[in-house]
Structure 1
Amino acid sequence: MEDPQTPEILDYRNEKGQGWRFYKIDGVLRRIGKTPEGDMKLLKKVQTFQLRDDDVMVAAYPKCGSHWLWEIVTMLRAGNSEYNKKTKEVAMLGMPMFERADELPSPRVLNSHLHFRHLPEKMVEKRIKTILILRNPKDVSVSYYCMFNGMKESIGFDGTYSEFLDLFLEGKIPNGDYVDFVKDWLHVKQDNPDLPMLTMFYENLKKDPVKEIKAVAEFLGVTVTDELCEQIAEACSFKKLKAADKEVKESFGDLPNPGRKVTLGCTEKVKLGTGRIG
């Protein structure tokens, strides 16, 4: 990974001041938090993070279903449809406190919004089973905007959807360009044939969750019944996961659980902020 001492600061805020400042590392835009140097140290820690042989990785661009899929995989590996009291953030590589994942018992289900080149260096060597979930970029843009709209103070964006869409299409948003993210990940399997990898689509999981859950179980080598897959599909419905976030999930460090952290939603008439697709 590149390790510039003083990375160039890229200011991509528009004329209304909506947007963010970034630095670029390994061709990827990273939003500047406190300092670029601190973020680079964080990425380096992720790359040297110690993987376990039975770890599973869920990879996704934000708002593509990583929470949904993480809960599904966690239940499949546990062999039941009970909610894990931990939130996915405790096992999310790239979060400021991600090293708390070392405290989790095996088998762990890790997750991340990072590009493959910023994930642990031994992903291929250890043949970590990886599940990539993709989503229609139109829906991604709306869902991402709705999240920002509910977190104006912490995220620093108070613009309209139209203003956000311009930034989204140009890749000038946190986590960078969606198209670049997808292209990079689609080349991962081609470039790393020894890495066991399953690619899924949010839309297929929404259309036929039981079928997709069975496909995930087969990829993981987990024996399941039709009844269990149906129970997991029901438990991981949007409505029930939202309720579980509020009623079941523990806090993560100094962060409240996702269901209590913010009120998500759009002030504009922008649809799809409720798990719908289309």
Structure 2
Amino acid sequence: MEWERIEVRDENGVGFDLIQHEELILPATLQHMEHEKQLKMIREFKYKKGDILLCSYPKTGTHWLSNLVYFLVTPGSVESMKTVQPTLMDLVPLEPLEKVEHSRVLNSHHRINRLPFDHLEQGGKIIVLTRDPKDAMVSYKYHVQNFEMLNRSNLSWNNFFDIWVNGKLPCGSFFDYYNSWEKALKENKELNVLIVHFEHLKTNGLKELRRIQDFLEVNNTEERLKEILDKCNVTKMKADIDTGEVESLLKDSDGKSFLYRKGESGDWKNHFTVALNEHFDNVLEERFKDSIFNAEFLAG
């Protein structure tokens, strides 16, 4: 597998290096990993009845949705359960997962052509999560400046804006990611996919949890759904990590987890200038105008 090396720098020389193969983009610090082997293992990963695959672009609410789904499908007292770290197939060893006898909640940032073939072929359930791209961009900015694998690069905002829009980050372009899903859904009507919007979870969480559990064919009482929504709010999930109840590998230079930040909608308004917002709206018009994933069309 041939990888192209990409240097990402702002006007002050701050930045990081990436490696790219086809649509795959990763931190150059991961170059030593056996990526071809990992990709092959993901593609050949065997489906177990009840497996759930959660697919998302980075910083769209992956950890939040993972916990909501985990609590929805796991019986027992919500109060006594701890929040969990998502099982990101892209990077974790898969051999232990293959030995798990019960169904699994799995995560990936890969596009559909890299996902487990058996899961797709057998109609396994897939939830695709999306978010307002402006908020996803802001969240990614803070992630990069704390992420050791990207040199904790505090890039200038204007430069990061261009980098994000052009997809010069791990996992590539937000627009290409979701456009590839839309193309797959149009070409294969048999795909068992539910689309979930971060914003809908924020504004009408109970309604969305009912929709998700109907898709997953599980049945939680209204009271338990309320408990799950409360247990999985950002403040409580962050507290689980801050108190050491749940371990996080994502830590800043002071040793504090940066897994969760605000988890809000509309924070982009505190970062975008009028000019940047106009520029982004033009990009949105060009790359994402009629997309089913566009936050502009979340009225339903």
Q: What TM bracket, shorter-length normalisation? A: 0.7 to 0.9
Out of 218, 221, 225, which is 2:221 matched to?
A: 225
1:170, CA displacement in angstroms?
Answer: 1.1
Give the partner amino acid of 1:179: F
Match of 1:143 in 2: 139
Q: Call closer, same or farther: CA 1:261–1:129 in 2, change over 3 Å.
A: farther
Match of 1:65 in 2: 61
Which residue is equivalent to 1:158?
A: 154
> How many equivalent pairs are there?
263
| CA contact 2:242–2:257 (8 Å) conserved in 1 | no
Matching residue's letter, 1:35:
Q
**Are the aligned partners of 1:246 and 1:257 in contact in 2 as well (CA < 8 Å)?**
no
TM-score by structure 2 length? 0.77
Map Cα deviations across residues 117-138 of structure 1 (whole Å, 9 max, x no partner): 1111212212110001100111
> Which is further off, 192-201 or 31-40?
31-40
State whether structure 2 residue 90 is matched by structure 1 residue 102.
no
1:130-162 Cα shifts (integer Å, max 9, x gaps): 0011001110011111122233x3421232333
Please tell me whether the aligned partners of residues 7 and 36 of structure 1 are also in contact (alpha carbons under 8 angstroms): no
Letter in 2 for 1:174: P
Q: CA deviation at 1:209?
A: 0.6
The answer as to whether partners of 2:14 and 2:154 remain within 8 angstroms in 1 is: yes
Paired letter, 1:264: F
Contact 2:89 2:106 in 1 (8 A): yes
Deviations 1:19-57 (A, max 9, x none): 443343343333323427722332222212222121001
From 7, 20, 27, give the equivalent of 2:23: 27
The residue correspondences of 1:105-254 to structure 2 (distance < 5 A) are: 105-151=101-147, 153-156=148-151, 157-247=153-243, 249-251=245-247
What is the CA distance between 1:239 and its match in structure 2?
Answer: 0.8
Change (3 A) 1:240 1:85: closer
Which amino acid in structure 2 is aligned with residue 222 of structure 1? V
TM-score (norm 1): 0.83
> Once the two structures are superposed, what CA deviation does each residue of 1:197-232 show, in whole Å capped at 9, x if it has no partner?
100100010001111000000001112221111111
**Secondary structure at 1:124's aligned position in 2?**
helix
Measured on the aligned residues, the alpha-carbon RMSD in Å equals 2.8
Q: Does 1:16 align with 2:4?
A: no
Q: Does 1:48 align with 2:36?
A: no
- 8 A contact 1:43–1:94 mirrored in 2: yes
2:271 is equivalent to residue 275 of structure 1: no
Task: Name the CA distance, whole Å, in 1 between partners of 2:70 and 2:255.
Answer: 22
Q: Distance in 1 between matches of 2:172 and 2:10?
A: 16
**Is this contact kept in 1: 2:5–2:17, CA < 8 A?**
yes
| % identical equivalent positions | 27
Q: Secondary structure at the match of 1:242?
A: helix
Residue 64 of structure 2 aligns to a residue whose secondary structure is: helix
Does the 8 A contact of 2:126 with 2:194 survive in 1? yes
- Structure-1 residue corresponding to 2:74: 78
Report SS of the residue matched to 2:29.
coil
Residues 19 and 28, structure 2, Cα contact 8 Å, conserved in 1: yes
Kindly tell me: are residues 120 and 24 of structure 1, through their superposed partners in 2, closer, same or farther at Cα, counting changes over 3 Å? same
Give the CA deviation at 1:77.
0.6
Q: In 2, are the aligned partners of 1:59 and 1:113 still within 8 Å (CA)? A: yes
Flag structure 2 segments of 5+ consecutive residues without an equivalent.
Answer: 267-300
For structure 1, which segment, 73-82 or 215-224, has the greater mean C-alpha deviation from structure 2 after superposition? 73-82
Gaps of 5+ in 1: 266-271
On the 8 A contact 1:142/1:273 being kept in 2, the answer is no
Runs of 4+ in 1 over 6 A off after TM superposition: none
CA distance in 2, matches of 1:185, 1:53: 23
- Tell me if structure 2 keeps the 8 A contact 1:21–1:32: yes
TM-aligned CA distance change 1:199 to 1:154, over 3 Å: same
Residue of structure 2 equivalent to 1:269 = none
